[in-house]
Structures are given as structure tokens and as C-alpha cells.
Amino acid sequence: MQEAPYPHVVRIAIGTRKGLWTAVGGTDGWELSQPLKDMAEFAAVAWMPRPDAPPRLLVGARSWFWGATVMTSDDLGRTWTDPEHAAIAFPADTGAAIERVWTLEPDPALPDVVWAGGEPHSLWRSDSGGESFALVRDLWDHPHRSNWMAGAGGPALHNVHRRPDGSTLVAMTGSGVYRSQDGMTDWEPANRGISAVFMPDEDPEYGQCVHRLAVDSADPTRLYVQNHGGVFRSIDSGDSWVEISAGLPESEFGFVVLAHPARGGTVWVIPIRAETMLPANGELRVWRSDDAGDTWVAQGSGLPDDFYAAVLRDAAHVVPYGSDTALAFGTRNGHVYISLDGGHTFTEVARDLPDVLSLRIWPA
């Protein structure tokens, strides 16, 4: 049997609080670019596939002075397109202004369609590969919106998942998980069983502070969330959730949850302590489950001890790599690590960057 093409090299887009970098490498080592963009934070980065061409690199950029926007590059970050008229801006009748683009997700099935999550809580759709976005109005006009709350980072829609049946799941701070059958209308909360330890009613219909959502690759009805207060699993597309934190250290907090891109039931989290937002015991570890969260194993070979920084929600990514995965993440003290063997061993890709806010891997 012929082996599948083995991508010896991957490219990583690294968005930080003060600039954008890429790194290229693999088993033979890593090369970090010079800053491709500076004087702005990059809370969202994405690679969009293009036929017979390098991927388009999209970034959600925000200057503290000059505001937020989405820019694109078709030459791996050497030159950029920033439209005259803002790629992403609220319609005038909303009275709102885009504060930050928290996530950019190319649609897995529709060419040139890109989804964006924004602050304040908002979902956006682009049909032009990220050159311009339209507000998904039905979610913006949702009757719950006036009750959605901000997290410490702001009122963010930070996670978008399109599923094979065309339905869409989003995750938001201070609001929870919402889903829509057609991705545009009929939005409903899907939080039953996810705790809201910061509210008098700890099991509200909505208002949970979900930090990250992942969809199982083998069974898209199986979902995982890293919540502000535990890790949870649903086996019914979000109709109900159960906590799967048992076995994790300091399990009440964290930002990252990643589902294996090909193997059902395999999922990773990076727990941190709620009180300090630092890794438990000062040990940077990735915790892996191969049974959908029933049991967990720490993976830390190559990762440091005496480590006192968090990993943020969009600063981790996993893609297929050879017969396994490439799993990378960046930390708030500017280190980037990657594993090319499913998390068993990690290698340092970069260090001493500004706070890493976002990270996406592309098989180069």
C-alpha cells in the first residue's frame, strides 16, 4: 500500500499582542520569521486553502490606536490586503463598533466562505475569502443578547464550528454555546449541564462562560468544552452536557480544548488554576484523553517545569501530520511548542515573543 504523502514541513502562523510571526519547520528544526506585522495585536489568525496556490493567511488585527480589522495575504505574509472600506464593520443601525476579531474560521465545506467571531458578541460571514464580512443578523438580534456578559477579555464570540450537516455551533464568553441548524437563523442555547459557578443559578439556560468548544472528528454529535469551571462533554450535539474533569489537575479552569482531527474520542486540554491562571504546580502540561474524557494522561516530555504563564483559547491548534498529528500552542510569555507525535514529545519552536494570542498550523 502506498503511504499517504508525509508533510515533513509545517508552517505556523503566530499572532501575538504586539505582532505577527510565522515559523516553518518540522522534524529537522524550526525557522522563525521576522515580524510580518507589528504595532498591533493579532487575536485571530487562519489559513484558508486555495486551489493550486499557497493558502491565504487571514488575520484579525487590532491597533489600540486605530481599531480592529481583518487583513489577508496571498503570499504567506509578505504583502497584505487591507480594503479601503473596513472588511468588518457593524451596520449603522446597530450602533455598535467592532472592538476585536476573536476568531477566523474558513468553512470546511464552502470555498471562500470564512466565519469570524467578534467583540461585542457577534458572528460574521464572508463569501469573499475574508475580504468583507456581513453580520449574521439573527444571532445579533437574539432576544438573549442583552443578557450576555463579558468575560475578563471582553464580550467575545470566540469559537465557530460548522458541522457536516450544515449546522453551526458558536461559543461565547458570558453566554455559552449556541447552535443553529442552518448556520444563520434559529439560534438556540445549548448549555444544559454546563456549570456557571459565578451565577446564583449554577445551571442556567445560558450565561455560562465557555472558553473553548471542540467537535469530535469521528462523531460530530460529540462535543467538548473547556468551561470557566470544568471540562464538559455532550454526546447529543449539545442537548445535554456532563462534566469530564475527573482526573485533571486544577480542573476548574483553562482555555484550550482540542479534538484530534481524525481519531474519535481523543481530546487535549491545558488546565490552569483559576485563582492564578497559571499551570498547576508550575508544570506546563498537555492532558490527553483517548476515551472522550473519561480518563486523562499528562503529556509533558519537552515541556518545562517552573513555568508560570497561561495558554489562551485561540493559541493552540492541531492538524493531521503524517500518521499522527501536529499539535502546537503558544504561551502568554511568548513561547511556542509543537508536538509531531500526538503530544508525546514537544519541541520549542520559538521563545521570547510577545504574548501569544492565536496560532494556526498549515501543512506547508
**Site residue total, other proteins (CB under 8 A):** 19
Q: To the nearest whole angstrom, how small is the minimum distance from the Cβ of residue 98 to other proteins?
A: 7
Q: Does 80 sit near other proteins (CB under 8 A)?
A: no
Pairing of strands 29-32, 37-38: unpaired
**Based on CB atoms, which residue is closest to other proteins, 62 or 260?**
62
- Per DSSP, the residues of 41-100 read EEEEEEEEEETTEEEEEEEEEEETTTEEEEEEESSTTSS-B--SS-SS---GGG-----E
User: By C-beta, is 98 or 359 nearer to other proteins?
Assistant: 98
User: Which of 9, 24, 32, 86 forms a contact with other proteins (CB under 8 A)?
Assistant: 86
Count other Cβ atoms within 10 Å, centred on residue 130: 28
Which of residues 92, 164, 306, 352 is near other proteins by CB under 8 A?
92
Instruction: Compose the 23-52 pattern: x for residues touching other proteins by CB under 8 A, - for all others.
Output: ----------------x-------------
Matching residue, cell 489568525: 45
Q: Are 172 and 157 in contact (CB under 8 A)?
A: yes
- Best CA proximity match to 287, nearest among 267, 309, 305: 267
| Between 80 and 307, CB nearer to other proteins | 80
For residue 139, the minimal CB distance to other proteins (Å) is 18
**Residue with smaller CB distance to other proteins, 32 or 86:** 86
Per-residue cell: 323: 500518521
- The answer for residues whose C-beta is within 8 angstroms of residue 126's C-beta and 6 or more apart is 87, 112, 113, 114, 115, 116, 132, 133, 134
Q: Which of 98, 214, 309, 361 binds other proteins (CB under 8 A)?
A: 98
Contact set for other proteins, span 196-215 (CB under 8 A): none
3-class secondary structure, 113: coil
Site string for other proteins, 57-76 (x = CB under 8 A): ------xxxxx-x-------
- Please name the residues in contact with 195: beta carbons below 8 A apart, sequence gap of 6 or more: 202, 203, 208, 227, 229, 230, 232, 243
- Kindly tell me which of 49 and 91 has the beta carbon lying closer to other proteins: 91
Stretch that binds other proteins, among 23-31, 82-90, 205-213, 260-268 (CB under 8 A): 82-90
Rounded to whole angstroms, the maximal C-alpha distance in the chain is 60
Q: Which of 38, 75, 82, 202 binds other proteins (CB under 8 A)?
A: 82
Residues that bind other proteins (CB under 8 A): 39, 63-67, 69, 82-86, 89-90, 92, 95-98
